[in-house]
Amino acid sequence: MKLGEINTLRIARETGIGLFLVDETGNEVLLPKRFVPEVFEIDQDLDVFVYNDSEGRLVCTTQEPDITLNSFALLRCRDATDIGAFMEIGIMKDLFVPKKNQNDLIKPGERHMIYMYEDTLTKRLVGTARINALVKEASEDIMPDDEVDILIWNERDMGWGVIVDNQYQGMVYKNQTFEPIAIGERRTAYVNRVREDGKLDILIQKPGAKNIDESAKAVIDALERNNRFLALTDKSSPEDISTALNMSKKSFKKAIGTLYKQRIISLEKEGIMLL
């Protein structure tokens, strides 16, 4: 049975306070009555999140948490005291972030990027906002053009800091991004460059030639939505192209070049026409 994770457990018995579930080795945990499904059977499997109650005992819930063990998430502070902050994680129990684990004092209502881990002394789930110490240099296995999962961490002057594959630090640059970005958002992205300091430059869109096909499809979709015509040409401003298509001018020019060669569009004086 794994603390802080989703476990698939078997219903062993029913009591007045809830169901007792067991793992493959016979370890038991209580599913309180408030979380018991309306319809269930003994020996049925349930997916539950295992956590500590207020007294440190293991309990579980069918509620889905916003964060799991050894991962990051943007969490809202519900309350703060002299000893630490209590962050909402989508279940009835908050995640405690001790004051020593905070960069700046976390205040109620604020959202902070938090990492959840198991404290080795108390055996309880704890959070930390000291993220810089947890992200590491990219391994030798990470290569340009690799597809990765990213979590948008914070906004900076040049772009957004991101956490890559739940372990590496990366950067998405504003001048290479042509769609809305939100702190706390998770999405698929692509490695553009592995820097000498081990950090990663990340692209939201597929790099190089791989992006041409997707850009071409995006142009066709936009044409079909606009009665087969777009008032855009290779002379249009990057801002107009980004607003209309969420892509760079470079990607747009490659896309219309591909579509023109395939005789899918015609290039008119005022724009492009879908044939």
Q: What is the mean pLDDT of residues 125-148?
A: 91
Class of domain 210-274: mainly alpha
- The chain-wide mean pLDDT, for the chain, equals 92
Location of each CATH 2.40.50.140 domain in the chain: 6-61, 71-128, 147-203
pTM of this prediction?
0.78
Under the banding of pLDDT at 50, 70 and 90, the label for residue 121 is very high
CATH annotation of 6-61: 2.40.50.140
On whether the CB atoms of residues 124 and 134 are closer than 8 A, the answer is no
Pick the CATH number of 71-128 from 3.40.50.720, 2.60.40.10, 2.40.50.140, 3.30.830.10: 2.40.50.140
Structure-token pair, residue 74: 């943007």
Per-residue pLDDT at 202 exceeds 80: yes
33-37, 142-146, 194-198, range with greatest mean pLDDT: 33-37
The domain made up of 147-203 has a fold known as: OB fold (Dihydrolipoamide Acetyltransferase, E2P) (2.40.50)
Q: Give the separation between CA 162 and CA 196, rounded to whole angstroms.
A: 17
Exposed, middle or buried, 246 (CB in 10 Å: 0-12/13-18/19+)?
middle
Under the banding of pLDDT at 50, 70 and 90, the label for residue 208 is low
37 bridge partner residues: none
For residue range 213-252, list pLDDT tens digits in order. 788 888 988 998 999 999 998 889 999 999 889 888 888 8
Per-residue pLDDT at 209 exceeds 60: no
Location of each CATH 1.10.10.10 domain in the chain: 210-274
pLDDT score at 115: 98
Under the banding of pLDDT at 50, 70 and 90, the label for residue 196 is confident
Q: What is the mean pLDDT of residues 94-103?
A: 96
Long-range contacts from 89-95, C-beta under 8 angstroms, 24+ separation:
89/65, 89/116, 90/63, 90/64, 90/65, 90/66, 91/49, 91/51, 91/61, 91/63, 91/64, 91/65, 92/61, 92/63, 93/51, 93/52, 93/53, 93/54, 95/67, 95/125, 95/126, 95/127
On whether the CB atoms of residues 139 and 200 are closer than 8 A, the answer is no
Q: Parallel, antiparallel, or unpaired for β 6-15 and 186-194?
A: unpaired
Under the banding of pLDDT at 50, 70 and 90, the label for residue 263 is confident
Q: What is the mean pLDDT of residues 188-201?
A: 91
pLDDT score at 188: 93
On whether the CB atoms of residues 99 and 105 are closer than 8 A, the answer is yes
